[in-house]
Amino acid sequence: MLALLKKLSTLTTSNSKLVSFIHSVASQPTLVAPEYADAYVMGALQGVPDPEQSAKSFVNGEKWYQQDTAMDVSQVGSTAIIEVKGGLVARHEEGLCGSVASYEGLLSTLDTLYADDSVTDIVARFSTGGGVTTGMIHASNQIRNMRGKGKGLYAIADTHALSAGYGLLSAFEHVWAAPDAAVGSIGVYLRHVSREKANEAAGIDVTYVYAGEFKVAGNPDASLDEQTKAHYQSSVDKTYKGFTQLVADNMGLSRDAVVNTKARWYTSGQVETGLVHKIGSFSELLSEIKRTQTMSDPTTPAQSAADRDALKAELKIELEAEAKADLDRDNAQKATIRKDSIEALCTAHGVDAESTKAYVDSTKDVATVAVALKELDEQAEADPINTAGTSANGAAVKDVWAGIDWSAAA
C-alpha cells in the first residue's frame, strides 16, 4: 500500500478531488480482505469503463443496461443479473478512468429492477474483495428488507465475496457460492503508515500548525501514539460488532458463530459454516431459477409472482410425497426382511407356527429373537422335563418325553 501511495503522490499534488477520494477509501476502518487492499484502492481509483461505450451494447442477444451508478445489469428472459465487482465505496464516484461501484449504486439498481415489470428474479453476481465501512451496513439492511417483495432475490459469490462484499451478499434471500469461490473475511481493520523514519532519512522536517488537541492525531508524519491507537481500536471494535451482528441477522446465525469464523475466508465448507445456503456454479443457479419461473406473460408481474409461488408450493408437495414414498418403501422392505429372518430362525429351532407368529408380531428385532431362542434351547437341554412345552423347540421335547414311562423308570 505504501508503495502504491508513493506512485500516486505526483497525481495528488495538483488534484484536490483525487486527494479527497484517496482519503475516503484508504483512511477509515476498512471492510476489505487485506490481500485485496492494494487492488481495492487501484480499483476504486480506476473505476469502470466509460459508460457511453456500453450504454447500448448487446451481447449474445442479452439485454444490457448501464446505470449512472456504475452497475452493469444484463437481463436473460425475466432474470436480471447485476455485476458487483471490484472495490466498493459508499456513494457514486468518478475514478481516474470512470465510475466506481458503490453501495448507493447497488441500491439504486435494485430499486430500478423492482420497478421493472419484465423482471421476476434478480441475481447479484459478486467478485469483490470488499470496500469502505461507511454505508455498507445500511445497504445490507435495505437489501434484506427487499426479501419477499414479489421477486426472487439471489446472490452468488462467483469468484469471491469478502468482507464488505460478503456483508452485501449475505443480505440476499438465496445465497450461493461457486464451488471454489471465497466467502467470509468478516472482520475490520485500519492501517496506519508512518513516514517519520523515511522523512528523517530524506532530511525532511514536517511541522503541523493546528488548533484542537487531536486535530493531527494519526498523521502519517509521526508514529502512532498509544492514545490515538486506542481511539482507532475503539472505532474498529464498534464497526466489528455491528458487522458481525449484521451477518448473524442476515444468515440466521448467532453472533458468536460469526465471531468464531475469526475473519477467515473460506473456499470450502461454506454451507457447513452457515455462510451460504447452497454451492453451485453461476450457470447452475440460472438453471435453478429457470425451473422455478412460470411460463406466464412476464408483463403481468402480480400474476407471475402468484404463479411462481404456486409452482414452488407444488414442487414442495411433490418432493415431500416422493420422500414419503421412498421412506415407506424402505420401511416395507425392512419389515419383509425382518419377518423372513425371524421365520427362518424359528424353523431352525423347531418353533411351532403359533409361536413363530407371536415372534413376528412382536416388536423384537431379529437379534433379540435369536438370543431368546438360543436361551430357551439351552434351558431345554439343561432341564428337559420342567422346560418341556416352553422352550423354543418345546413341542418336539414334549413329544419325546411323553413317550417315556417315568413310573416304570423309577
Query: pLDDT tens across 197-242, in order?
Result: 999 999 999 999 999 999 999 999 999 999 999 999 999 999 999 9
Instruction: Kindly state whether residues 275 and 367 are assigned to the same domain.
Output: no
Instruction: Give the domain CATH number at 81.
Output: 3.90.226.10
Cβ distance 287 to 106 under 8 Å?
no
Mean pLDDT across the stretch 146-160?
Answer: 94
Tell me, yes or no, whether 404 and 269 share the same domain.
no
Residue 154 has pLDDT above 90, yes or no: yes
Q: Please report the pLDDT score of residue 177 as a whole number.
A: 95
Does residue 44 contact residue 95 with C-beta atoms inside 8 Å?
yes
Segment holding 312, helix H or strand E: helix 301-348
User: Is the domain of 102 the same as that of 186?
Assistant: yes
36 and 164 housed in the same domain:
yes
The answer to whether residue 233 sits within a structural domain is no
- For residue 167 the three cell numbers come to 456483508
Do the domain assignments include residue 58?
yes
Note the helical H segments in 164-270.
Answer: 164-169, 196-202, 226-251, 255-259
Q: What is the pLDDT of residue 282?
A: 93
In a domain, 338, yes or no: yes
Give the helix ranges, DSSP H, for 115-163.
136-144
285/396 same-domain check: no
- Do residue 279 and residue 355 come from a single domain? no
Q: Does residue 288 sit in the same domain as residue 378?
A: no
Same domain membership, residue 344 and residue 402: yes
Segment among 131-140, 273-282, 359-368 with least mean pLDDT:
359-368
- Total domains present in the chain: 2
Domain contains 179: yes
Residue 166 in any domain: the answer is yes
Do 141 and 97 belong together in one domain? yes
Question: Which of the listed ranges 6-10, 38-42, 119-123 does the model predict with the highest average pLDDT?
Answer: 119-123
Asked whether residue 189 falls in the same domain as residue 332, the answer is no
Q: Mean pLDDT across the stretch 247-251?
A: 97
Q: What CA–CA distance (Å, rounded) separates 273 from 266?
A: 9
pLDDT, residue 235, reads 93
Higher-confidence residue: 117 or 44?
A: 117
pLDDT of 31 reads 64
**266 and 364, same domain (yes or no):** no
pTM beyond 0.85 = no
Mean local confidence (pLDDT), 293-320: 66
Position 374 confidence tier, pLDDT thresholds 50, 70, 90: confident
Pick from 271, 113, 255, 247: nearest CA to 177 = 271
DSSP 8-state secondary structure symbol assigned to residue 158: E
Instruction: Find the domain containing 385 and state its range.
Output: 327-409
